[in-house]
Amino acid sequence: MRISHLSAECSPFAKTGGLGDVVGALPKALARRGHDVDIWIPFHLEAAQWYRRRLQWPIEATPPFDVSILGRPYRVGILKGHLPHNDVPVYFVAHDPLFHRPGGLYAPNDSGMDDGLWRFTIFVRAALEAMRRLGRSPQVLHTHDWHPALATMLGAWSGWRNRWFDDVSSVLTIHNIQYQGAYPGHLFTTLGLPDDVRTGGLLDFRGSLNFLKGGIEAADVITTVSPTFAAEIQTPAGGAGLDAVLRGRNHRLTGILNGIDRQVWNPAADPHISARYSVDEPSGKSECRHELLRTAGFEPGDPGMVLGAIGRLVDQKGFDLLLEAAPELIRRGLRIVMLGSGEPALEGAMRLLESHHHGQFRAFLGYDEALSHRIEAGVDALVMPSRFEPCGLTQMYSLAYGTVPIVRKTGGLADSVIAYDGYNENIATGFHFDDPSPHALAAEILSAQHIFFQRGTWYRLMRNGMSVDNSWEHAAGLYEGVYQRAREVRGLAW
């Protein structure tokens, strides 16, 4: 099947979180299963830098062309590269004023304005036009999150582009329901889109434009990244306002747990860590631990339990709970290494804890891919106290690295970690807690600490986690079923 993925992120070119990881990995697994797959992302500054660091540059896929919005031409270039160690093509939509921007993938414009709706409208229009020019018409257009969701809406309105869409079905994957691409309604007229997109009600939501909602209405099949999250987003508590819309599309919605890219996250072959190890040869993990504790400024031979936490510092991740619990945990002999960037208040709290607890709490602020691997390999347990978590990849990386996850029982965390209950050490891989409070988190960490000192049980949990098959193969098979369904519901052959 011919499948085109459209996304704002794709690892390793441009990534702020798990969205980038998934878009950099799922297409490879699909290609291994014989599908003709490509990926479309904006040519962000980060992607240009990725190439420059390697003294390489993607090739020009088509001569530049104009995307016209209300008569104003936007000249775009289409560049073509491929995923590393692999021939899955990656097409980059280049338009420097919109994408070649310092300050991150979602940085505002020079005047500090969030111009995402124009950036991603131009991205989608350019990508679809380029597919047409290149004669690459996908059978399935797989859009990820709100940024490219407009593509499914244009598809649903099949008068667009000479009925090119008549043979294209669409799938929308929701990675994060919190980011919806909501903008004031009056801006619709500035997008130069066919009126039907609006009058059909797709983009409208409670008087605003809402790209995610439009995508949900228009896509032939909607997926999200874990079965539990698929159920949660249909409830008022978990739907971030879109639960009723999702319930209305319930027959088209399914949850598929993400996999992990074993080419990138494998302790037996990871170039970022100081020693390689595996479930059969686990001894290298203690060298990684030693090295990490030294880097963190801790006593390298510390026999106590060392906790790690990695992620975007936003409310979703619940790191404030960990920071609040930290002084008590440190008093009980735990050591904590955190890596993240995001909300200034959380960064400030991390700095403060570090200054009060030198040698016991270490805050790495910023984004550091190599360090994230060293932490996954070097700590004993990884904490994810998320308030909500569609899937979560860091805990799956932990499992692969023999690091025991302690997670809040929500979304994909509940689906990917089997909690130890005192009797199931033959299958358990980690620990769960329910209540999103510092107290409940600390209580669970302390009971995990108790098990940590019962070395036999702890090793069983580590080994169980390392033996879980979280590779993308299984999920890719489920996505195949989704693509077939997306063709069927439109009455198209596959």
Helix crossing, 284-296 with 369-378: angle to 10°?
Answer: 120
Q: Which residues contact 57 (CB under 8 A, 6 or more apart)?
A: 51, 79
First CA to last CA distance, the chain: 7
Query: Token pair of 184, please?
Result: 């004031």
- The DSSP line for 286-312 is HHHHHHHHHHHTS-TT--S-EEEEEEE
**435 contact choice in ligand ADP, ligand GLC, none (CB below 5 to 8 Å, kind-dependent):** none
Instruction: Give the Å distances, CA to CA, from 112 to 117, 321, 397, 491.
Output: 14, 31, 36, 46
Stretch that binds ligand GLC, among 17-25, 57-65, 247-255, 419-427 (CB under 6 A): 17-25
The DSSP code for 84 is: T
Q: Does 438 bind ligand ADP (CB under 6 A)?
A: no
DSSP H/E element including 167: none
Q: In the window 126-145, what residues touch ligand GLC (CB under 6 A)?
A: none
**225 contact choice in ligand ADP, ligand GLC, none (CB below 5 to 8 Å, kind-dependent):** ligand GLC
Binding ligand GLC (rule: CB under 6 A), the pick from 393, 417, 418, 428 is 393
Q: Does 390 bind ligand GLC (CB under 6 A)?
A: yes
Alpha-carbon span 454 to 458, nearest angstrom = 6
**369 contact choice in ligand GLC, ligand ADP, none (CB below 5 to 8 Å, kind-dependent):** ligand ADP
Alpha-carbon span 148 to 183, nearest angstrom = 15
Per the document, the length of the chain is 494
Stretch that binds ligand ADP, among 162-170, 390-398, 426-434, 435-443 (CB under 6 A): 390-398
State the nearest-atom distance from the C-beta of 317 to ligand GLC, in Å: 8
Q: Does 51 bind ligand ADP (CB under 6 A)?
A: no
CB 54 within 8 A of CB 84: no
Q: In the window 298-337, what residues touch ligand ADP (CB under 6 A)?
A: 310-312
Residue 297 backbone dihedrals phi, psi, to 5 degrees? 80, 20
Alpha-carbon span 148 to 134, nearest angstrom = 19
State the nearest-atom distance from the C-beta of 87 to ligand GLC, in Å: 24
The DSSP code for 280 is: S
Q: Does 389 bind ligand GLC (CB under 6 A)?
A: yes
Q: Which is closer to ligand ADP, CB of 390 or CB of 438?
A: 390
Q: Does 21 bind ligand ADP (CB under 6 A)?
A: yes
Nearest residue to ligand ADP, by Cβ distance, number only: 18
DSSP helix/strand/coil, 55? coil
Question: What is the SS3 string spanning 114-136?
Answer: CCHHHHHHHHHHHHHHHHHHHCC
Q: Does 417 bind ligand GLC (CB under 6 A)?
A: no
DSSP helix/strand/coil, 275? coil
Q: Does 7 bind ligand ADP (CB under 6 A)?
A: no
Binding ligand GLC (rule: CB under 6 A), the pick from 22, 26, 128, 193 is 22
Binding ligand ADP (rule: CB under 6 A), the pick from 228, 394, 403, 429 is 394
**368 contact choice in ligand ADP, ligand GLC, none (CB below 5 to 8 Å, kind-dependent):** ligand ADP
Q: Does 266 bind ligand ADP (CB under 6 A)?
A: no
**310 contact choice in ligand GLC, ligand ADP, none (CB below 5 to 8 Å, kind-dependent):** ligand ADP
Stretch that binds ligand ADP, among 124-132, 338-346, 353-361, 486-494 (CB under 6 A): 338-346
DSSP H/E element including 350: helix 344-356
Binding ligand ADP (rule: CB under 6 A), the pick from 76, 105, 128, 393 is 393
Q: Does 18 bind ligand GLC (CB under 6 A)?
A: yes
Q: Does 391 bind ligand GLC (CB under 6 A)?
A: yes
Q: Which is closer to ligand ADP, CB of 220 or CB of 389?
A: 389
Report how many residues bind ligand GLC under the rule CB under 6 A.
14
Q: Does 343 bind ligand ADP (CB under 6 A)?
A: no
CB 28 within 8 A of CB 181: no
Query: Token pair of 45, please?
Result: 């500054």
State the nearest-atom distance from the C-beta of 181 to ligand GLC, in Å: 14
Residue 373 backbone dihedrals phi, psi, to 5 degrees? -70, -40
Q: Does 19 bind ligand GLC (CB under 6 A)?
A: yes
State the nearest-atom distance from the C-beta of 225 to ligand ADP, in Å: 8
Query: Token pair of 218, please?
Result: 């228009």
Alpha-carbon span 211 to 116, nearest angstrom = 11
Binding ligand ADP (rule: CB under 6 A), the pick from 94, 216, 338, 339 is 339
DSSP helix/strand/coil, 322? helix
Report how many residues bind ligand ADP under the rule CB under 6 A.
18
H-state helical runs in 135-281: 150-156, 195-199, 211-218, 227-232, 243-248
Could you list the residues that contact ligand GLC (CB under 6 A)? 17-19, 22, 175-176, 225, 258, 389-393, 412
Could you list the residues that contact ligand ADP (CB under 6 A)? 17-19, 21, 310-312, 339-341, 367-369, 372, 391-394
